[in-house]
Structure 1
Amino acid sequence: MFTVLGLETKDEAVYREMLESPALGVEEIAARLATSPDRVRACLDKLFELQLIQESFEAPGRFLAVEPAVGIQQLLARQRDELIERQRQMADSHASFIRMLAGTGSASSRGSGVERLEGMDAVQQRLRELARDAAREVLTFMPGGPQSAAALQAARHNDEHALARGVAIRTIGLDGVRDDAATLDYARWLTEQRGEFRTAASLPPRMVLVDGASALIPIDPDNTRKGALCLSDPALLAPLLALFEQTWERSAPLGTEHRHTLTDRERALLTYIAQGHTDESAAKQLHLSPRTTRRMMASLMDQLGARSRFEAGLKAARLGWL
């Protein structure tokens, strides 16, 4: 978990020492970890930059570890903001790329590598052809939030035939579709049919990429009803494929990265566990029996896919549960 958040093994070790023994100085931490004081100071600089440690108000020049539940939330919030900004930059670059292609001329021959399809009827016809001929995979950006009933029906019809032939389908929608019943039903149907659906905070303009050999992108990203460009030139498809894979890696599968509804007791329990409490000490804080606390914790760990209580606290913070 710490590695995913940008910390190296030594950084984590220094952080844990400061949590467990707040009175230790640099020299003592270095001795415990069998490393040099300069290496510990470098770790402290990094931890301070990440807001996992802070300067003591009572003793200026001395640093204290921030509780994991607080520090991890701050770090994740910053990483989330950076991720959203990177996604926005990618979306802007992709939109500029589309506008550049749309303005290069009125190519209409498939042999040119760029075919112009005017109007939605022509686009839907080509989508049906691509779905029919797909042999390996179909990759889709689905921006615009909740989708219309007609669009979802067409997507399900095309996907159903492709999936029946063993074609892999991966689709990325906006985070907002998680709150739209119709679009969410489609996403769940797709995953039940062994397709994959993820969401992101922001997306490039709409795109369908088939077998790495053909792609449909809108002529005008701000008005998709004008039609689309059908690309088949490998030089144009390569950056689109790379963009999809980068966006996919930074997107969240259904069931994750979405705020989970916790009871007050569950939230308090996870907070205590993230702070280092045992089940027994957390039970005392919550005025519950240790047996009840262990049962609650086992259920939460199962939901989080965590192998330890400490990992459960970190994952809960990362997923925005706390």
Structure 2
Amino acid sequence: MELDVVGLSDETQLVYTALVGLPRSTASEIADACGMHVSAVGRLLAALVRDGLATRAAGRPPRFTAAAPDVAVSELIQERERRLDAARSLVQQLAEKHREAHRISDPNIAVELLTGHEDISTAVHRLTDAARQQIRAFDRPPYIERPGSNLEIQRRRQRTGVAHRVLYDRAAVAWPGRFADDILPSIRAGEQARVLTELPLKLVIADDRWAVIPFSLAPGGHSAAYLIHRSPILTALEALFEAEWERATPLRDTRPPTPATTPGSPDADTLALLGLLASGCTDAAIARVQGWSQRTTQRRIHRLMTELGAATRFQAAAQAARRGWLR
């Protein structure tokens, strides 16, 4: 029966169900309703009282009343969930102990092969959901899932104190709609973001416990991936991330620092253009992201550099930062 998942036997469920419909009943009355021997029903009623599923009124013979199911059974379900959580925690501890015990004799256990987009996606979600301190990532095309599809999940993680540091390949910033619809909202939610012209691979590191990298950088190589457990390989990947992070350029929030009506404040298109210039995007990439023609893009860049009194794009970004247009 349905309530066996919370530890109630079939006979106990039968007696409790009858008691729900027959408040203030004696053991004999419940036995008649269930077609059971009165002594067996008496034992089951005593167990229901002990577990908080029924109450017993004094008198001869004693009468029993079922506790409200939405309260009593819900408490049993919550208790079972607490025990399951404790069991999961113990399994995780034992699994980690098992891996550590076998790692010296079998170093291959530090690496697991994941095959298929669904398995890779599931593993990445599982590891990032389990992170308690920080998530570090190299973000570059191609993508298994639509970029930005996990934005709300990331925001929830960040609200619980999990830091996100993401290093974007320039091609990721130039991905149509990515900069305005995903990267900037992530930065505004607390993500630390930087950009490099080119990243060596895709990478996700959860805390200092796991990492996922593609099986191959060749076309089609992202249909398989390696799950890296705590090991010298993971230490090397962490060092790679930190080294690339140090030489990358920060991506800025391009919201107006003051109300948009303030004289001299740049409009939204200008701010977006500044952010893309600061990230090192080419004219073609900026045109693709903003939906402009290349001629319009070049004209806007020239007008912006003139307004800022800049001879190079680097100077334009520096002048914009000095004016408070880039955060």
Larger RCO: Structure 1 or Structure 2 (Cα < 8 Å, ≥ 6 residues apart)?
A: 1
Higher Cα radius of gyration: 2
Superposition TM-score, scaled by structure 1 size: 0.46
